[in-house]
Amino acid sequence: MGWTETENLRLDDAQKQGNATEIWNILGGRGWSVNAVAAILGNMQVESSINPNVWEGYKVRPEDTSLGFGLVQWTPANKIRSWLRSNGYAVSSGSGQCHRLYLEMEEGLAGQYFINKNKLYPISRTAFIKSTEAPQKLASAFMYNYERPSAEAVRLSEADRRKYAGDWYLYLSGVQPEPDPDPQPPPPSPSQSAGIYRNWNIVMHSAKRLNGQNKRDWFR
């Protein structure tokens, strides 16, 4: 199916699967484990609907580059947009964003991935990309050590990230993952956050909860 890179589009299942396959082809082709890629896809589903051409809040905001952009919502947006242009990619390029991601994870570019200060999920970046631990556990490791949302955002989205990671493991491998080893991780304290989360996720959660929608749809 190939990449879907339509600006600020919430992808349907087939489009997510197409982009996930492209991501797996790139990262898996570099020797990353299916567990690690599934864990990252679980996070991407929350962050961007696995669409590389998404601005934070699903609105076109090139004038406010303090916001997030792309598959993992690099923040500020110019971190990824400037790098893509300087390396010959369009800013919407999923392949280009995967290139940036594997440099961050394999070579430590920009110091994006580091063990969170409270030592939750102390898995190094080089161990992460080869790990065969449960994809649900690795989803939390990527969330804490790479995405670094606020404690409140962790509370709202960690279970979804873990659940989606298991789903993507099944999709990529054809094998049902083992049950989540920690399906209800304890809520973090405010001190366990190392970054600033995208407030739009919390807004989406509040608005959609009033409409009675299932929690798993909050971040799609």
Residue 63 bears catalytic tag = no
Per annotation, catalytic residue among 5, 22, 47, 104: 47
Q: How many CB atoms lie within 10 A of CB 7?
A: 13
Using CA atoms, how far apart are residues 73 and 208, in angstroms rounded to an integer? Answer: 22
Peptide bond into 76 cis (omega under 30): yes
Of 68, 45, 44, 72, nearest in space to 58 by CA: 68
For tokens 């600020």, the residue is: 8
- Quote the strand ranges of 110-171, DSSP E: none
Kindly tell me the burial class for residue 220, based on how many C-beta atoms sit within 10 Å of its own C-beta (0-12, 13-18, 19 or more): middle
The catalytic residue positions are 47
